[in-house]
Amino acid sequence: MHHDIWFNGKLVPYEKATLHVLSHVVHYGSSVFEGIRCYDTERGSGVFRLREHIRRLFDSAKIYRMTIPYTIEELEAATLETIASSGLKACYIRPVVYRGMGSLGVNPLKNDVETVIAVWEWGAYLGPEALESGVDVHVASWSRMAPNTFPAMAKAGGNYLNASLVKMDAVLNGYNEGIMLNKEGYVAEGSGENLFIIRDGVIYTAPSSLSILPGITRDTVITLASELGYRVEERQIPREALYIADELFFTGTAAEVTPIRSVDKHVIGSGKRGPITTEIQNAFFEVIKKGNDPHGWLTAVPVNAAV
């Protein structure tokens, strides 16, 4: 079923949310976007870390000199309105801001900036079994973009040309996902997920300066793991550290916390979801399933917000 889409300030029917083929974004990939989840918790529907996602959308837009003609508060309210009108208790939320009509040619400064929020139902990103059994991945032959080429901290549409090369190669070679190395050959992240590695009870992840998207789930996991008493270190991870890890997992809004059971056909640990990964997943599920939210990460969806 299709749901109404918030399009430049108001909800419109799904079929009406269209753009012209000569929009700048079609030719040059000039969009920034977010991926957010709304969970059906035991204490009602709640959007996970809404403020942080909308803030990152504004950050991405600023990097690309796009002025969003709304405030953070207005886009938060618009997100809640779009969810409420869909009637969905749980959904994936996709705000996207793009360069529309104006002049063609690379210079986007005179083109319209359009703002859209769509919602849909989205199950487990890396397959229904993934959260429990883990996924099989390889190291991608494509690298993550080098610093000062594409800004990695912006969640920009164009970045996902690189990501889709990684994803296509993974799938066509029989893997669920690819892990990208950065320009120096250190572990960066998956095509749509951050990566964590566990060895001898210590948790490691790439620093945000290493051309990764600074993930909000990554930040959530760092917080939860520290609260569970684990040491979490942001540091450069060489490729071979993946192979000898005790446990590995991906994090992301879509992927949530997904264990990795093999890399380049090396079995990781016991080849099953490991104990620390399970502990972290459980701490995460406590928030998003039970609605037990000591950090104030959930924003309630008003039941009658639809107009």
Distance CA 232, CA 225 (A): 7
Q: Tokens for 66, please give them.
A: 């796009």
> Which part of the chain contacts ligand PPE (CB under 6 A), choosing from 4-12, 63-71, 199-207, 214-222?
214-222
Distance CA 215, CA 194 (A): 7
> Which part of the chain contacts ligand PPE (CB under 6 A), choosing from 129-137, 186-194, 237-245, 288-296?
186-194
Options 30, 251, 262, 277; binder of ligand PPE; rule CB under 6 A? 251
Would you count residue 76 as binding ligand PPE (CB under 6 A)?
no
Residue 1 is given by DSSP the state: -
Decide the pairing of beta strands 135-139 and 177-181: parallel
**Which of positions 266-285 make contact with ligand PPE (CB under 6 A)?**
none
Q: Tokens for 77, please give them.
A: 């309210």
Helices and strands (H and E) in the chain: how many: 8, 17
Give strand pairing partners of 203.
198, 232
Q: Tokens for 173, please give them.
A: 């070679």
- With respect to ligand PPE, which residue has the nearer C-beta, 60 or 111? 60
| Nearest C-alpha neighbor of 115 from the set 152, 51, 168, 71 | 71
> Which part of the chain contacts ligand PPE (CB under 6 A), choosing from 10-18, 65-73, 171-179, 191-199?
191-199
Burial class (CB within 10 angstroms; exposed 0-12, middle 13-18, buried 19+) of 216: buried
Look up 10 and say whether it is catalytic. no
Options 5, 119, 198, 213; binder of ligand PPE; rule CB under 6 A? 213
> Which part of the chain contacts ligand PPE (CB under 6 A), choosing from 6-14, 112-120, 245-253, 295-303?
245-253
Distance CA 6, CA 129 (A): 33
Task: Convert 217-254 to b/e letters by CB count within 10 Å (16 or more is b).
Answer: bbebbbebbeeeebebeeeebeeebbeebbbbbbbbbb
- Hey, how many other C-beta atoms are within 10 angstroms of the C-beta on 80? 21
Would you count residue 38 as binding ligand PPE (CB under 6 A)?
no
Options 76, 81, 114, 189; binder of ligand PPE; rule CB under 6 A? 189
- With respect to ligand PPE, which residue has the nearer C-beta, 111 or 117? 117
Nearest distance, CB of residue 256 and ligand PPE, angstroms = 9
- With respect to ligand PPE, which residue has the nearer C-beta, 12 or 153? 153
- Hey, how many other C-beta atoms are within 10 angstroms of the C-beta on 130? 22
Would you count residue 81 as binding ligand PPE (CB under 6 A)?
no
Of 16, 62, 155, 289, the active-site residue reads 155
- With respect to ligand PPE, which residue has the nearer C-beta, 6 or 196? 196
Decide the pairing of beta strands 135-139 and 256-263: parallel
Would you count residue 256 as binding ligand PPE (CB under 6 A)?
no
Would you count residue 166 as binding ligand PPE (CB under 6 A)?
no
**Which of positions 106-165 make contact with ligand PPE (CB under 6 A)?**
163
Q: What is the 3-state secondary structure (H, E, C) of 64-83?
A: CCCCCCCCHHHHHHHHHHHH
Options 218, 222, 248, 281; binder of ligand PPE; rule CB under 6 A? 218
Would you count residue 217 as binding ligand PPE (CB under 6 A)?
yes
> Which part of the chain contacts ligand PPE (CB under 6 A), choosing from 59-67, 225-233, 234-242, 251-259?
251-259
- Give the footprint of ligand PPE on this chain (CB under 6 A): 35, 163, 189, 192-194, 213, 215-218, 251-255
Residues acting as catalytic residues:
155
